[in-house]
Amino acid sequence: MDRVLRHAIEQGLDPVTAIQMMTINTAEHFGLSKEIGMIAPGRWADVVLVKDLNKFKADLVIAKGQVIADSGKWKVGLPKFGYPSWATKSVKLKRPLKAEDFKVVVPSPPARGSGVRANVIGVIENQAPTKHLTFDLQPVDGEIQADNERDLAKVALVERHKGTGGITLGLVSGFGFTSRCAVASTVAHDSHHMIVVGTDDESMAVAANSLAKCGGGQVAVKNGKVIGQVELKIAGLMSTEKADAVAKKAAVLLKGFKTCGCQLNNPNMQLSLLALVVIPELRISDQGLIDVTKFKFVPLLEG
């Protein structure tokens, strides 16, 4: 939130107004203004000291009278907590995945010289909605291949809660991959199955199996090798590590996206939204592709 605060101030919002919106307004909304909001007897001693309100970099953070952070460094220890196995072993695959699991096979090969029409998820940068695109494609040996020149990648939703072995395949455009690569995430709103996007079947299998092995998270793979990974062991959604460690891994992960050719502003968020079946236009689910605008399932391939 401090990043959001700095951005708001950079856009011209008065610093005091911005801080008010982030602090006392929220406290009053949730009925906490009798406990926080001022330095006085009976109130929590929550204090943030900054040298420059316009840049707003927290120099000292005090929570309930205890110094929590000083000059950007964490100053207190965190209590150890044991998590149950059902939370830390939430990625259940029926078996390790193989490259063959990500082949998009044309059910009925078209006549020679003719192609098929594919329903494709179109990513819109910095937005949650997607576009419902259609691509005319030519099968190769009865399969639909990813195509970097046309910015066309495969997407797979892998059921990971019950280990049914279910895999839904689709196609997506907008990630801009330029190499043999794959990215995957167990953060996939709202059902949080595993989402894998890639241009190389072998790399997609490596990405999926890597997340299964570490208990979930996000990963980038290039030429079959992991080049960035954030482990989210709690339900495949949250980390057991400290924030600074997670931040470093997240930076490596995002660098991995770029190494694969993706130049999106927030690619891991775009990845996690591909299965959000409550927002138009086209999404992928464990039941198939969904045209959210028309409230109906659509086939991946037509014609």
Helix (H) or strand (E) holding 40: none
Whether residue 9 is found in the same domain as residue 100:
no
- The answer to whether residue 269 scores a pLDDT higher than 90 is yes
Query: What's residue 113's pLDDT?
Result: 64
Mean of pLDDT values over 291-297:
96
Model pTM? Answer: 0.85
Parallel/antiparallel/unpaired status of strands 288-291 and 282-285: antiparallel
Query: What's residue 242's pLDDT?
Result: 87
Question: What is the C-alpha end-to-end distance of the chain, expressed in Å?
Answer: 49
In a domain, 244, yes or no: yes
Q: Are 285 and 275 in contact (CB under 8 A)?
A: yes
Backbone φ and ψ of 234, nearest 5°: -85, 105
Query: What's residue 292's pLDDT?
Result: 97
In a domain, 79, yes or no: no
Whether residue 32 is found in the same domain as residue 109:
no
Whether residue 257 is found in the same domain as residue 133:
yes
| Domain that includes residue 153, residue range | 87-302
In a domain, 119, yes or no: yes
Among the three residues 51, 74, 97, which one is the final residue of a domain in this structure?
A: 74
- The answer to whether residue 126 scores a pLDDT higher than 70 is yes
Q: How many domains does the chain have?
A: 2
Tokens 């968020």 belong to: 269
- The answer to whether residue 303 scores a pLDDT higher than 80 is no
- The answer to whether residue 171 scores a pLDDT higher than 80 is yes
Provide the 8-state DSSP code for 101.
G
In a domain, 80, yes or no: no
Among the three residues 17, 52, 74, which one is the final residue of a domain in this structure?
A: 74
Q: Are 213 and 232 in contact (CB under 8 A)?
A: no
In a domain, 258, yes or no: yes
**Average pLDDT of the residues of the chain:** 94
Whether residue 122 is found in the same domain as residue 179:
yes
Identify the bridge partners of residue 70 per DSSP, sorted by sequence position.
60, 73
Mean of pLDDT values over 237-258:
95
Whether residue 67 is found in the same domain as residue 98:
no
In sequence order, which residues have a C-beta less than 8 Å from that of residue 78 and are 6 or more positions away?
242
Q: At what angle are helices 15-22 and 2-10 packed, to 10 degrees? A: 150
Parallel/antiparallel/unpaired status of strands 73-74 and 66-70: antiparallel
Mean of pLDDT values over 128-145:
95
Instruction: Report the percent of the chain where pLDDT is more than 70.
Output: 98
In a domain, 14, yes or no: yes
Mean of pLDDT values over 285-289:
97
In a domain, 82, yes or no: no
| Banded model confidence at residue 295, pLDDT cuts 50, 70, 90 | very high
Structure token digits, residue 29: 């909304």
- The answer to whether residue 72 scores a pLDDT higher than 90 is no
